Each structure stands twice: as C-alpha cells, then as structure tokens.
Structure 1
Amino acid sequence: MVKKPVVSNPFKPSAGHLPPILIGRDGVLDDFLEGLDDGSGAPGRLMRVTGARGVGKTVLLAEFRRIAEERGWLTISETASKGMAQRLLDHLKPAKGTFEFTVEPSVNAFGVGGSLGAMRYERQRMPLDLRDAMSLRLDALERRDAGLLVTVDEVQAADRDDMVAIATAMQHMVSDDRNVAFVFAGLPSMASKWLNDEVMTFLRRAQPERLGDVGLMEVSDALHDSFRQTGIVLDGEPLRIAAEATAGYPFMIQLVGYSIWRIANRSRRGDGDAVVSEEDAHRGVRDALSRLGDTVHGPELDGLSPVDKTYLLAMAQDDGPASTSVVAQRMGKSVKYASRYRMRLLEAQVIVDKGYGKVDFAIPYLREYLREHAAFIRMSLER
C-alpha cells in the first residue's frame, strides 16, 4: 500500500517563524536585494524597519538572512538586550581562542619588588573590539566575494552602550568600503530614541522601511493560492470572510489561514480536494481571534501601565476613532494629563493618530478584546 504524502499547513502563525508567503513585502525585499547587488554603500545595505507588533518585522529580518546566506554571506542575528555588543563580538571571534600568561609581582613593605607572586592565565579576548573583529572576518569573507550581514530586532529595547558600539563599528566598515550590511528593526518609537542621539548620527542614513497592513486584494489572492497549492479550495464567500477577517494585519493573515486550513484539511476525503465552506471559514476566524487575543492583545496590555490601560478602555467605548477630549473626560482627567498617556501609546504603536484630535487602535480587534475583558482589566487596576 502506497502511503499518502502528508501535506503540511502552509501557514505559520508563530513569532518570527518564516511563513511561505511574505504578502505585500515585495518592495522592501527588492530594496534589500538591490542593495546587495549594488555593492558597498548602497542604500539597501543600511536599513531600519519599523512597524507595530505583528506586522512581520522579525519575519522580514529572517528573510533577509536567508537571501544573504544563499549568496554565501555570513549572517548574525541579534535581539536587543543588554550585552548585545559582546555577543556580537563573540560570534565574530575565532572559534579557538589563545591564552596569555601574566606575571603579577608582589611588593614588600618597603615598596620594593619581592617574589614574582602567582602566575595566572586567562582566555585572550581576540579580536579586541568590534571594528577589529569585523575587519578580520571580512578579510576572509571578501576573498570569496561574500560579506557580513548583521540584523538586530527590537532595537527600541537596546542598551545605549551596545548601540553606540555596533553603530560605530558599522560606520567604520562602511567608510572603509567593506562588504557589510546592517538592518535593525523595532517599534516606530526607536526612531526618536536612537536617530536623535548625537553619537549615532550614522544611523540617520539608514533607509527607512515602515511596514503596515496589507491590501485585502493581495490577502485574498495569497490565501486562495496558498490553499489551492495544498489541494484545498478557498473561494467565493468563504474567501471573502477569511480575507476581511484579517484586516490586512500580517499576523492575523497567518492565524486565519492556519485555522481555516486545519479545519478544512480534517474534512478532506481520500486524495481529492477539500472545499472550505462558510461554516469552516467562520469557525476558523473565531479560532484565530481567540489566539490573537492570547498571543498579541493580552501580552500587549500586560506591558502597559494602569493609566495606559484606563486610556484604552475609555477609547474602546467608541466604535471608531475616539476624540481625545472625550477620552480625557471619560477618564475623569484633564486633556493635558491624558495627553501624556496618548503620546506614550502613540510611541508604543498601540494607537494611531487619526487627525483632528482623534485616535484609533493600531492593532486590529484590540477594541473588541478590551470590551470583552473590560471587567477583568478594571479589577486588575484596582488591586
């Protein structure tokens, strides 16, 4: 009996996992590829990627590394946290360290050298700094027409000393016409944090790439094609339900696709195609929304202050963009007081400015999540 091949789910709704489709990111991928082709100093080799959580920044960095590695480049990936520069240095150091011996003479009571004292040895830190480390590694890479790509994610959380060290080393590499590329990604707030730092003016030259939502027509085409390639038909009204439920939010595209595909695949009979029904689509969307709340909305709120959450609860009472003056009134605070938290939430990309004194939620379905969990959130604020 011939074993039927297992068809895996084409959607990957997990943090940083590279999905088979990068919907709506052709432009930024072309910029990066062009940068590699155009050589040292090309704009696409120094890039900053910004966007709200869940728009695919981490996935895009992974795709950049895949592209570079296909060309034989060395790629190093870091997520910003204290000690990042040292970890990067450790990646670049030779695999085998050398040892050095130092002699520490003792001194007698008269200030005259006595015995030689204890001899100790320590692992030598080779190379001595990031600039040296990059240069030595690039010497070998460039001999075979390869280069070095460094990507850093969640840059808004980086330690300043780490960022200064990495930016300074990269600036020297670019000035020396070395075969390097540096892409850093994070929330939009990172721009004001790092690009205005006088020590890191080099980073202002980075090509800006801001990721946003994907057009629903592109979403619809991608869902249809991805399902079809695995022998499942998603078309007509079920396709419309699925595409509109994503709101063009990249993480939700993966969640909706994953959930609906799993339901339809379970009903597949024999070797024939399965067809997604409207009920399948609705069930998949409900599953996706539940998981969106657990993986995006809940953690997002956990990182906010009590007043931030109060501001969001006041916003959630409206079905669309909320007036900032009305939000302040609902909070029982002055507009000036509430505006401080408005700015914090804007910088964190939890909300977006809609002009004329109005704001709205940046993350799809956050309004609905807040309404559904309002009682629990208010109880937690009172503790």
Structure 2
Amino acid sequence: MAATTNPFKPTAGRTPPLLIGRESVIEDFEEGLENGPGAPGRLMRVTGARGVGKTVLLTEFGRIAKARKWEVIDETASAGFTQRLLDRLTASSSTFSATIKPTITIPGLSASLGEARISPNIMPLTLREAIGARLDVLEKKKAGLLITIDEAQAAERDDIVAIATAVQHLIREDRNIAFVFAGLPSIASKWLNDEVLTFLRRAQPEQLGDIPLYAVRDALEDTFTQSGFTFEDKALSMAVDATEGYPFMIQLVGYHIWRLVNRHRDRSTSASEQDARDGISDALSRLGDTVHGPELDGLSAVDKTYLLAMAQDDGPSSTGAIAERMGKTINYANTYRTRLIEAQVIKDLGYGLVDFAIPYLREYLREHAAFIRLSTESQR
C-alpha cells in the first residue's frame, strides 16, 4: 500500500523533502559551524525573489544548528525586531530581585530607614550584552547561538544597525555565534551601501535562483518513487516543464499531482497525463493566491500599470513600448522599471528589454486585468 502522507510541503517556511539545488549553500553553512568562530559560513546573506526558498533555507540552517545543540533564534524584520530579540534573550535569565531594610544603630537606639527594592530592570542590557551573556552559558556547553533574520529588506535602519553592531563586536571577540539574514535583492542597495553597516558587506553572499530542470525531474521522480508511486513519461515531462524551475512551484506541482494519485491509489499508483494536467491547474491557482496576489498588493498603482502594459506581450517587452502604452515618457516609466527590477518582480534582459521574473505572473495579470485596473484607480 502506498504512503498516505504527502511528502511535498508548499507552505512558507516548511522544509520540503528535498532542498534541491541548495546543497552547496547548506555545505557552506555546515562548514562554517565546523570551522569555528570567524568562519565565512557563519556570517551569510541570502537573497532571491519571493518563492525561491529563502525561508525554507533558514529553517534548514536552524535544524542543522539544533542538531549540534546550538540555540536558534529566528526573527522576521518587522518593526521592533531587535527589542523582541532582547526579550527572548533575557526571558530565560534568572530574575534577580531583593528587598533591603537599611537601619541606623546608635548605642541604646536602633531605627529603620524604610525599605528599598532593587530590580534588574533598572539597568536594561544592550543587545550586545544580552547576546554575550547568553553565549557565556552556551559556550560552557560547547554550543553556540544562531540568529536568523528573514525579510531583512523591511527592517528599520535602527534595528539593523543594532544587530549588525552587536554581531560585529562578538565576532571580533571570537564568540561562538552565527548570523544569517535573508531578503529580497534590494537589501544590497538598501543596507550594504550604508556607511554604518559596512560590516554586513563581508557577509558571504548567497543568491538563490531557479533550479535546473534536470534536477527538478530527478527530485520529482525520486520523491514519488519513495512514496510507492510512479510517473508516466509524458506526465513527468509535463510536471517538470510546468515548474519552470521555480522552487515554490516545484512544491505546488508535486503536492497536487501526488494528492490526485494518492486518491486513486487503489486502482493505479501511476501519475497519468490527466493527473498532471489537473495537478498543474490546481498548482497555478494556488500560486496566484499565495504569490502573485500578495506580490501585487505590495506594489503602487503605477507599478501595477507598468506590469499590465508588459503583460500585453507574449515575451520580453520593450521599455519604449511600455512607456507608450502607459502614456508616459521613457524617463518616467524607467523609474518604475528600476523599482520593479530591484524588487525582483521583473528582470532586465538588456537592449531595452524586460521580462517577468516570477513565473506565470503574465498570465495572472491577463486573467485579473479588470480587477487590477479597478484597484489601481482606487489607489490614486
């Protein structure tokens, strides 16, 4: 009887059965932990478009560190994340509180001067001191501390300065710490050129991209086989091509086709062409809900207008044609072109051409064009 637990995990942050195409990054991190304080793999920045597996990779790093008995603190760079870090670091510390009753004694007389209460909150720890104090405990156990920060492009500057300054000093002191921050490629221009944050430039860069289709094919086939299922040749090719090497789409396609095969496992354990077609259709619907829709929600009205102008083409778009469709000058349109490239929504192909960086976004824009136009009007 085939397995009944779906091995694919198309959910943000859930570790999939195979981190295909990420072996070298994982090896770099493992070597960093093995080689001790100051090793390159202990200070890393992971960048890539949404859906390429940044959060999944951070989760895997945490699993590796915990296997070595390290403590792991995961945070997302929303407002105030350094205070949350500080709270977590000090939460497990023993609380010190004392009541003192000072007295004055004169021969034949003893008088109380009242009560004085001392609390540790009078002098709060800095982030550097808090991390250092936690490392004092961990290093006695031959362990260390991994801190991961996701969505780093959204951080407030004060928060990034605080964590970068703390980690920089602790690395200089050869403490047993590792720090990995992940986000969209825009973190390079936003943080790495800041004079106060030059330390972050030394972080080992890991740019995540699409997975080669031959690796996708092997991963899908192997995962199905381990579940007791197989693919018809044409069905496997359809599934592989539909992913376009996009990591989140690999999980979606695998999940939905596996689910269909598992439903009819009593009569067949092979994924047919119909299973592939239906699974791909379900995957595309889910991709729109979880990637395309949220991506567009975070863009301005003009950003969306630029993308709708691009979506009229079946392939790469000319920046001049986009400006003409928008009814704007090329210089005006190029402002939004630059923004969308930095956000990894579109990519620069050179020679005045751009194309979508997120698979199937063109099709999603075409299907939802009327609704998107209405929403852009309400944003103006």
Shift of 1:6: 5.6
The AA in structure 2 aligned to 1:41 is: G
The one of 366, 377, 380 equivalent to 2:375 is 380
Note the alpha carbon deviations across 1:321-377, whole angstroms, 9 max, x for none.
Answer: 111111001101000000001011111111111111111111000000001111121
The one of 284, 289, 296 equivalent to 2:284 is 289
RMSD: 2.0
Match of 1:180 in 2: 177
The one of 201, 206, 223 equivalent to 2:203 is 206
1:359 pairs with 2:359: no
Shift of 1:99: 3.4
- Report SS of the residue matched to 1:77: strand
The AA in structure 2 aligned to 1:308 is: D
Distance in 2 of aligned mates of 1:374 and 1:339: 22
The one of 261, 275, 280 equivalent to 2:270 is 275
Match of 1:313 in 2: 308
Shift of 1:117: 11
Distance in 1 of aligned mates of 2:217 and 2:173: 46
1:98 pairs with 2:107: no
Shift of 1:34: 1.0
| TM superposition score normalised by structure 1 | 0.91
Distance 1:358 1:118, change over 3 A: farther
Match of 2:57 in 1: 60
- Report SS of the residue matched to 1:259: helix
Alignment of 1:295-374 (within 5 A): 295-374=290-369
Shift of 1:382: 2.6
The one of 214, 218, 222 equivalent to 2:215 is 218
Shift of 1:208: 0.3
Greater shift in the superposed pair: 314-323 or 136-145: 136-145
The one of 234, 238, 242 equivalent to 2:235 is 238
Distance in 2 of aligned mates of 1:266 and 1:192: 48
The AA in structure 2 aligned to 1:361 is: F
Structure 2, unmatched stretches of 5+, are: 101-112
The AA in structure 2 aligned to 1:247 is: E
Match of 1:190 in 2: 187
1:30 pairs with 2:7: no
Q: Is the 8 A contact 1:80 1:153 kept in 2?
A: yes
Match of 1:135 in 2: 132
Q: Is the 8 A contact 1:97 1:126 kept in 2?
A: no
The one of 38, 42, 47 equivalent to 2:44 is 47
Distance 1:117 1:315, change over 3 A: farther
Q: Percent identity?
A: 66
Shift of 1:87: 1.0
Note the alpha carbon deviations across 1:244-272, whole angstroms, 9 max, x for none.
Answer: 000000000000000000001000118xx
Distance in 1 of aligned mates of 2:72 and 2:369: 44
Shift of 1:172: 0.6
Distance 1:85 1:125, change over 3 A: farther
Distance in 1 of aligned mates of 2:257 and 2:212: 20
Q: Is the 8 A contact 2:232 2:273 kept in 1?
A: no
Q: Is the 8 A contact 1:100 1:123 kept in 2?
A: no
Match of 1:105 in 2: none
1:10 pairs with 2:7: yes
Alignment of 1:68-87 (within 5 A): 68-87=65-84
Note the alpha carbon deviations across 1:98-122, whole angstroms, 9 max, x for none.
Answer: 23779xxxxxxxxxxxxx9997776
Shift of 1:27: 1.0
- Count how many residue pairs are aligned between Structure 1 and Structure 2: 366
Distance in 2 of aligned mates of 1:5 and 1:336: 59
Distance in 1 of aligned mates of 2:87 and 2:122: 9
Distance in 1 of aligned mates of 2:261 and 2:270: 7
The one of 164, 169, 176 equivalent to 2:166 is 169
Distance in 2 of aligned mates of 1:324 and 1:226: 42
Distance in 2 of aligned mates of 1:186 and 1:99: 41
Distance in 1 of aligned mates of 2:99 and 2:310: 65
Match of 1:152 in 2: 149
Shift of 1:124: 1.7
The AA in structure 2 aligned to 1:336 is: N
Shift of 1:96: 3.1
| TM superposition score normalised by structure 2 | 0.92
